[in-house]
Chain A
Amino acid sequence: MTAGTRIALTRPFYGTVWFPLLTVLGSMLLVMVAAWQLTGISFKPYDALVLDRAAFFPDSKGVCSPSISDSLAYANDVPEPIATQLLNCVQQLGQTGSAGREVNLPHEWRSQADSFPELMSGRGLYHVSLALSGNQPVLYGLYLPAVSSNAAVFLNDVLLGWGGSFEQPVARNATRPMLFSIPAGLLREDRNWIDVYVVAEPVPRGFLDKLYLAPIEVLEAAYHDHGIFRHEVPRTIALSLLVISLFIGVLWFYRRKETEYGLFALASLCWAVNAMDQFVVDIPLPVFFWDWLMMFSLSGFVFLGVMFVHRFLHEAHPQIERLMLVIGVPVALLCLVLPRDYAYRVVLYVWNPVLLVYGAYVLLFVLRKIGQRHVSRELYALVLAIAVIFVFASYDFSVQMGWRPQVNGLFLHFGAPVLMLSFTWILLRRFVSSLRATETYNRKLLNLNQELEQRVAERGRKIAESYETIRQFEQREVLLNERSRIMRDMHDGIGVYLTSMLRQLDTASIDREQLKDSARNALNDLRLMIDSLGNASTDLSAMLGMFRTRISAVLEACEMELEWAVDELPQVADFGPERALNLLRILQEAVTNAVKHSGSKRVSLSACTELKPGSANQIKIEICDNGKGFIDERPGGNGLKNMQYRAKKIQAELVVSSGGQGTSVTVYLPVAASQGDSMTLKQSEGRRNGVAGTRK
C-alpha cells in the first residue's frame, strides 16, 4: 500500500471529493422527484362529473370562419353577432353527416396529425352527450382547465361563453382555466349535449383537456387554485425576473468591470420575456413571430447563462461561447425565412435538443468544478439552481417532444424563483462580507489614525520643547549681548572720564575746573546711557525730546537760546539702544562744543525727513550755532574724530561745516537700513561683541 492510498483511506469521508458530489447528485434526485410529482398537480374538482369522451368533428370543409373579427363588439351595424356566428359554425360542424370520431379527453392534436389530416385546418368541434337525472338544487357550471388555443362552449345549443378573441391571432388559453356558469333551467334532467368549438394556433399545439360538470361552488375552488398555479404565479415570476434584471443591471452599471452582473441581468430579462408565454392571452404579434420571440428569448437566456457561469467561476472559454453564437444566430435567422411548418420542426427537433445540451454542459461544468474541490457555498447555491432549472427544462423538452402531455403545461419558469433566491443569497453574502471587511478596515484605520495623532502630539510636544530651549538660548544671548554692550559703552564713555579724573588727581597740582569738567562729562555720559536704555530708545522723536530736556538746563545756565525745530519723524529701522546712545553722544558733543567754544548766544536743533536721490529716505538732524566757528583754530581735533567714528558706527553720515557765520553739525540717518547695511551693522555688532569679549 502506498503512502497516498493510506492518506486517502484515513481521511474522513466528508473531506473527500465524493461528499460534495454525492450531495449535489442527491439534491438533484430529490428535485427531480419533486418536479415529477409537481407535474401531476391537475386541480381536479372534488366529486365533479368528469366528461372524458367526446365525438370530434374537425372543420375539414372550412365551414367556420378562420378569424372572427373583434370589431363586431364596437360596430354600429352588426348583422350577425359573434355568438350567432359561433352557434352557426357549431351547428354546421355537428350536421356534417358523419358521426364524428370518438376521442378520449384530454385530446392532443399532434399525436393524431398523421392519421387525422383534417386536423390541419386548426378548427374542430367536440360534442359530448350526457344524460342526467335528479334535480339541480344549485347553480351548475362547466369547468375547462386547459385548451389550446381558444374555445367556445355551448350547452344544448346555448352559448355558455368563450375564451377571448377569435380574430387571428386568437386568444391563448393553454394556461388559463375557464369556468362557465350554466343558467338555471338550461341543464335538463334527461338528455343534454355539450359542444366545445376549439381553434388551435399553431395546429400541432392544439388540445382539449377533460371537462368537469358540477355545482359552481365546487368548481370555483379548483378554478381559483388552478388559475393561480398556471396563470398568476408565472405572471409574478416574470415580473420578479424583470425587477431583478433591472436591479442587477443597475448594479452592473456601477461595477462594469464585473461583467457577470451584466450577463445575469440580460439573462433574467430574456427569461422574463420567455415567461410571458405562460400568461399572455392576447399576444401583440402574429403567432409565428411571437413563437420566434419566445424561441429567441429562451436561446438568449441559455447563451447568456453559459457566459455568466464561465465568468462567475472565473474560467474563460471563448471558443465555446463563439461556437454557440456561430450555431445559434444562423438557426434563429433560418427559422425566420423557412416555411412555418419547417421552422417549427427545426426548433422542435434541432434547436431544443441543442439548448438542452448547452444546459447539460453548464451543469456538468459546475459539477466538474465541485469535483476539482473548488467548493464554496456560493457554488453549492449555483449548482442547486442550475440543477432545478435543468430538471424543469428536461421535463419541458419531454413535453415538447410528445413524451409528456401538454395539458399539464410547462415548468421551466418555476426554476426562476430558485435561481433568484440563490443569486440573491450570493449577492447578500458578498454584500455582508464586503460590509464586514469595510468595518474591519475602518477599525484598523481608526486605530492607525489614533496612533498617528499620538505620534503627531508627541512630535509637537518635542518641537515645542525645542522652541522653548531655543528661545531661552536666544534670550540668554540677547541678555549677554546687551550686558556686553553696556559694559563696552561704560568702558568707552564714563570709564574714559573717570580715568582722566584719576590721572588729574595723580598730578601735583589739581586743576579743579578740569576735574569738574571731567566729572560733569562723566555724569552727562551716564545720563545719556540711561536715556539710551529707556523706553524711548527705539523712537527717535521721543529720544530727541528727552535730549532737549537734558540740554535745556545747560543752555539756560549759559544764557544761550535754544531753537527747536523737529518735524514728525518716521520710524527708523534697527534703531535700538546702541545706535540711540551713539547718536546722543554725537549730538551731546556738538552742543558741548557750541557752548564751550562758539561764543554764540543761540543754538538751534532741527530734524526733518529728506529724500535722498536714488536711495531711501533719510533723517537729517542738524545742530547750528551763530558763533565764531573753528576753522582756523583746531581743525581735525579729537572731538570731531570721535563724532565721525560714532556716525560711522550707526551707518550715519556726519557733515561738519564751520565759518564766520557759525558752525553746523549735520547727521544724516537712513530711515530704512538696506540689506547690506543691516548685515554690515550686524557684522559690526558681532565684531564689537568679539572685541568686547577680548577686552574682558
Chain B
Amino acid sequence: MKKGIIILLGTLILNLGVAHAATASFQHNNSTGGKGVDTVNLSAPGSCMVFRSARLEFSKRRYGSAKISRLPAAGCNPNREQCTLTVEWEHGPAGGLDYKVVADWGNGGC
C-alpha cells in the first residue's frame, strides 16, 4: 500500500515537468495508392524544453500504415541543435492516411 502510494506520487512529480505537443500533421489520400517518407524538424514548446519521445496519432488510416523510422536523440534541445524525425508511410489504392506527430518534451534545457 505504502509502496503503491510512493510510486503514484513519484510518477506525478516526474510528469509535472513534461509537455505534450503536436508538431506536424500529414495527409496522404492518393486514389491510386502511394508511399513515401515524411520528415519533421521538431520545435520545442518552451525555451527550456528538451525532447523526450514521439508518437503518431491517426485520424484516418485506410488500407495503409505509417511508422517513425528515425527519432532525434533523447534530450535533444531544438534551441541548440536540429531535432529531426522521419516517418515512413504507405497506403494502397482507394486508401489514405491522416496523422500527426506528437512529441513529448521535458524540462532540463536550462
Contacts and interface: CB of A to CB of B under 8 A. Distances in A.
Co-assembled chains A and B? yes
A137 B33 CA distance: 11
A502 B71 CA distance: 175
Given A49-B32, A215-B63, A134 B93 contact: yes
B30 interface: yes
Contact of B92 (A50, A130, A135): A135
Interface residues of B, number: 17
B94 A215 contact: yes
A134 B92 contact: yes
Contacts of B92: 132, 134-138, 140, 215
A131 interface: yes
Interface in A201-225: 213-215, 218
A638 interface: no
A214 B32 contact: no
B94 A49 contact: yes
A48 B94 contact: yes
Contacts of A215: 63, 92, 94-95
Contacts of A189: 33
A71 B62 CA distance: 44
A132 B63 contact: no
Nearest to A50: B31
Given A47-B94, A213-B93, A133 B63 contact: no
Given A47-B62, A138-B63, A133 B35 contact: yes
A130 B96 CA distance: 18
A187 B33 CA distance: 12
Q: Is the interface of A mostly helix, strand, loop or mixed?
A: loop
Interface string A178-216: 000000000101000000000000000000000001110
B35 to A, nearest CB: 5
B98 interface: no
B96 A47 contact: yes
Interface in B63-106: 63-64, 90-96
Contacts of A131: 32
A462 B95 CA distance: 102
Q: Is the interface of B mostly helix, strand, loop or mixed?
A: strand
B63 A49 contact: no
Interface string A118-144: 000000000000111111111010000
B36 to A, nearest CB: 9
Nearest to A49: B31
Given A133-B30, A133-B33, A134-B35, A218 B91 contact: no
B62 A134 contact: no
A499 B30 CA distance: 157
Contacts of B33: 132-136, 189
Nearest to B35: A134
Interface string A81-107: 000000000000000000000000000
Interface in A265-292: none
B62 to A, nearest CB: 7
A122 to B, nearest CB: 33
B27 to A, nearest CB: 13
A189 B31 CA distance: 13
A47 B94 CA distance: 6
Given A47-B62, A137-B63, A215-B63, A132 B32 contact: yes
Contact of B91 (A48, A130, A134, A213): A134
Interface string A14-45: 00000000000000000000000000000000
B45 interface: no
Given A47-B62, A215-B63, A133 B94 contact: no
Contacts of B64: 134, 137
Contacts of B63: 136-138, 215
A181 B97 CA distance: 24
B93 A136 contact: yes
Nearest to B65: A137
Contacts of A133: 30, 32-35
A214 B63 CA distance: 10
B102 to A, nearest CB: 24
Contacts of B35: 133-135
A586 B32 CA distance: 147
B64 to A, nearest CB: 7
A140 B94 CA distance: 10
Nearest to A140: B93
Contacts of B34: 133-134
Contacts of A140: 92-94
A696 B15 CA distance: 151
Interface string B28-67: 0111111100000000000000000000000000111000
A131 B63 CA distance: 17
Contacts of B93: 49, 132, 134, 136, 140, 187, 213-214
Given A47-B62, A138-B63, A215-B63, A130 B32 contact: yes
Contacts of A130: 32
A188 to B, nearest CB: 11
A213 B94 contact: yes
Nearest to B33: A134
A137 B63 CA distance: 7
Contacts of A135: 33, 35, 90, 92
Contact of A214 (B29, B90, B91, B94): B94
Given A135-B92, A189-B33, 9 more contacts: A47-B29, A131-B32, A133-B30, A133-B32, A133-B34, A135-B90, A137-B63, A140-B93, A218-B94
6 contacts: A47-B29, A132-B92, A134-B30, A134-B34, A134-B91, A134-B93
Sorted nearest first, the 3 A-B pairs with minimum C-beta distance are A134-B33, A214-B94, A49-B31
